[in-house]
């Protein structure tokens, strides 16, 4: 599991000190900075817009991994791209035009991600494998931090791992496999063993304050 990387979700950070929090998790070993964008419509919570992404951009050189829990998402892609996102992940359930929106993200020269809610079948990714740089398997229902990991998603993680391996073995582009929700020291190894390589973690990284971030990240990496 030594190649496991952690993407702290700043949803669990101190929102009054977001710049400092991003610098702290960067220094503590974050691979990406995961930013949860919620619209109060696709998910029952309202969080961060492109202005905050723009404000955080100067605080880290790590990739800003922006998870768009938003519907419709098309009208916001350009704003998040201009704000300095590196990865834009959309939900397969967020609209009828997944293929077009992934193309829109790629046209900005960004990495494109596709997220699957717990009830969404793996087959949703088949027709867009050539357009994605990242597949995000949700291990909770999106909307809130601090929820419990849904064990039924382990077999989905393994199924997506097989699809990605087959795709790359056939000469396809690199695709990363990320999981998000309820990742802690008990569930991180389950996700990693099933084939996830990037673990998003909010609560498990930010618990204990800045003095704990490096230790929390190493623990999640299984070190």
| Identified binder of ligand DX5 from the candidate list 67, 153, 177, 216, rule CB under 6 A | 67
The residue among 176 and 180 lying less far from ligand DX5, judged by its C-beta, is 180
**Does 145 engage in binding with ligand DX5 (CB under 6 A)?**
yes
The binder of 145, among Zn ion, ligand DX5, none, by C-beta within 5 to 8 A per type, is: ligand DX5
The residue among 143 and 167 lying less far from ligand DX5, judged by its C-beta, is 143
**Does 91 engage in binding with Zn ion (CB under 5 A)?**
no
Could you tell me whether strands 111-116 and 134-138 are parallel, antiparallel, or unpaired per DSSP bridges?
A: parallel
CA–CA gap between residue 91 and residue 73 (Å, rounded): 9
The residue among 34 and 156 lying less far from ligand DX5, judged by its C-beta, is 34
Ordered alpha helix ranges (H), the chain = 18-27, 50-56, 74-83, 98-107, 153-169, 188-194, 203-206, 213-220
**Does 180 engage in binding with Zn ion (CB under 5 A)?**
yes
**Does 39 engage in binding with Zn ion (CB under 5 A)?**
no
CA–CA gap between residue 57 and residue 174 (Å, rounded): 25
**Does 9 engage in binding with ligand DX5 (CB under 6 A)?**
yes
Stretch binding ligand DX5 (CB under 6 A), from 80-88, 89-97, 175-183, 190-198: 175-183
Q: Which of residues 129-168 bind Zn ion (CB under 5 A)?
A: none
CA–CA gap between residue 113 and residue 32 (Å, rounded): 13
The set of catalytic residues is 36, 180
CA–CA gap between residue 54 and residue 38 (Å, rounded): 16
Stretch binding ligand DX5 (CB under 6 A), from 74-82, 98-106, 178-186, 213-221: 178-186
The residue sitting closest to ligand DX5, measured at its beta carbon, is 202
- Region of 101 (left: φ > 0; alpha: ψ -120 to 50; beta: rest) is alpha
DSSP state, 44? Answer: S
**Does 181 engage in binding with ligand DX5 (CB under 6 A)?**
yes
**Does 219 engage in binding with ligand DX5 (CB under 6 A)?**
no
DSSP state, 59? Answer: G
- Please name which of 121, 120, 182, 196 lies closest in space to residue 151, comparing C-alpha atoms: 182
Instruction: State the first-to-last Cα distance of the chain, in angstroms, to the nearest integer.
Output: 9
Which residues lie near ligand DX5 (CB under 6 A)? Answer: 9, 11-12, 34, 36, 67, 140, 142-143, 145-147, 180-183, 200-204
Which residues lie near Zn ion (CB under 5 A)? Answer: 36, 67, 180
């Amino acid at each position: 599991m030594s190649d496991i990387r952690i993407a702290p979700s700043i949803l669990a950070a101190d929102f009054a000190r977001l710049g400092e929090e991003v610098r702290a998790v960067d220094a503590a070993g974050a691979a990406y900075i995961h930013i949860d964008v919620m619209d109060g419509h696709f998910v029952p919570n309202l969080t961060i817009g492109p202005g905050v992404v723009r404000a955080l951009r100067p605080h880290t050189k790590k990739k800003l991994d922006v998870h768009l829990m938003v519907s419709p998402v098309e009208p916001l892609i350009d704003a998040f791209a201009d704000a300095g996102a590196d990865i834009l992940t959309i939900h397969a359930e967020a609209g009828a035009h997944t293929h077009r929106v992934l193309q829109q993200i790629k046209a900005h020269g960004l990495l494109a991600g596709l997220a699957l809610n717990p009830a969404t079948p793996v087959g949703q990714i088949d027709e867009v494998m050539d357009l994605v740089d990242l597949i995000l398997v949700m291990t909770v229902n999106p909307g809130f931090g601090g929820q419990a990991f849904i064990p039924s998603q382990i077999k989905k993680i393994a199924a997506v791992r097989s699809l990605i391996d087959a795709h790359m073995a056939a000469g396809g582009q690199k695709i990363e496999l990320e999981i998000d929700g309820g990742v802690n020291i008990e569930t991180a190894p389950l996700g990693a063993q099933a084939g996830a390589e990037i673990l998003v973690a909010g609560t498990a990284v930010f618990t204990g304050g800045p003095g704990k971030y490096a230790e929390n990240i190493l623990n999640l990496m299984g070190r």
